[in-house]
Chains A and B, each alone.
Chain A
């Protein structure tokens, strides 16, 4: 006699997908909801650092590109909330968890964007790191999450390329512009490496998440992959990555890099990054200021439905 749990284990073991109404262990459901929700919140909060520059884009072309990119971030957040809802999570609850600070989002969005070069560096490094993280998630064991990730990854490719092209353009400009690119690189390099999360020996849930197929590689594996991909891109761009210990290790077949300031990471995750309070406050205000629109639309829909019934 096979139990529902045997069936779940066989589905995971056979590398097939779990779908919304399948039986699943409570821990699996909770882990996947938490992972998708944090990812969704990151996309939504991630609109802010770059959205900061939309009104000050240097040309109409750059403005149209940046607007499209920030709209994509909103779209990615919504794809992901939709995936979380297939597991019984409620949208209003998820929003509440974000604006009350009970659920986290990626620590990277708690850093400020100080110049237009930051828009380029975010596309190149932050979205580049996100792609490293996200491509394996297209094979997540949870079907709706994997499908959302496929759509997101296609769109992220535009994000990374527009960023790198922006930086190439600035590097062909004045000394001041080249300095802006270097400065932005200096500020975002280490926080980008932190995006992969704590080192494997300090990541207690990794083993279980990998067994369940909700995570496909460890944090350190993905971080190494990102470093290896990025070093030649930095060379081509003509910027220096701010790590004196960064060098090719022929024995390992990978780049060695310096140690990450995990105290800074812990502080930012705990809420003490440069922009944590501001990011959540902006989201909370937008939600509160949109309340009358949501209520008015509901009232209109109720009235229309009533008229239809009466007719």
Chain B
């Protein structure tokens, strides 16, 4: 069987002021073609004002497991949250 074009991940900025968000993937021979295919596939109704494409093979990801010890260091640091600090109700603007 023929070897297909590589896979690319697509990220869209839906409007100015917002982050690029992952929307899906597509196959393309090179980066320019990936951008054009991304425009045709993911922005048929003005869903984006800016597109990033990146080879799927170039992404390094953490394990998706929520119980992953990778995220444990922030689990016990409740003092990083504002609600950790009791303040009397009658203190204004805090």
Contacts and interface: CB of A to CB of B under 8 A. Distances in A.
Contact of A297 (B2, B33, B44): B33
Interface stretch (A70-78, A106-114, A253-261, A271-279): A70-78
B26 A7 contact: no
Given A82-B26, A297-B33, A300-B29, A92 B1 contact: yes
A5 interface: no
B10 to A, nearest CB: 9
Given A75-B41, A78-B41, A91 B4 contact: yes
B24 A291 contact: no
A85 interface: yes
Given A85-B7, A92-B2, A297-B5, A21 B26 contact: no
Given A92-B2, A92-B4, A298-B29, A19 B24 contact: no
A294 B61 CA distance: 30
A87 B3 CA distance: 19
A301 B30 CA distance: 6
Chain B contact-residue range equals 20 to 34
A82 B5 contact: no
Contacts of A79: 24, 41
Given A71-B44, A72-B44, A82-B24, A297 B65 contact: no
B30 A19 contact: no
A23 B63 CA distance: 10
Nearest to B22: A147
Chain A contact-residue range equals 35 or more
A142 to B, nearest CB: 13
Contacts of A75: 41, 44
Given A72-B44, A92-B2, A297-B33, A22 B65 contact: yes
B14 interface: no
Given A75-B41, A96-B1, A298-B5, A82 B63 contact: no
Interface string A84-114: 0110001111001000000000000000000
Interface in B10-60: 24-27, 29-30, 33, 41, 44-45
B64 interface: yes
B60 to A, nearest CB: 12
Given A71-B44, A78-B41, A82-B24, A297 B64 contact: no
A304 interface: yes
A91 B64 contact: no
A72 B44 CA distance: 8
A83 B24 CA distance: 8
Contacts of A45: none
B12 to A, nearest CB: 11
A93 B4 CA distance: 10
A64 B1 CA distance: 37
B67 interface: yes
A71 B45 CA distance: 12
A148 interface: yes
Contact of A21 (B24, B25, B29, B64): B64
A308 B94 CA distance: 56
5 contacts: A19-B64, A79-B24, A82-B25, A298-B29, A301-B30
Given A91-B7, A147-B24, A305-B30, 20 more contacts: A7-B65, A7-B67, A19-B64, A20-B64, A21-B61, A68-B44, A72-B44, A79-B24, A85-B7, A92-B1, A92-B2, A291-B2, A294-B2, A294-B5, A295-B2, A298-B3, A298-B29, A300-B29, A300-B30, A304-B30
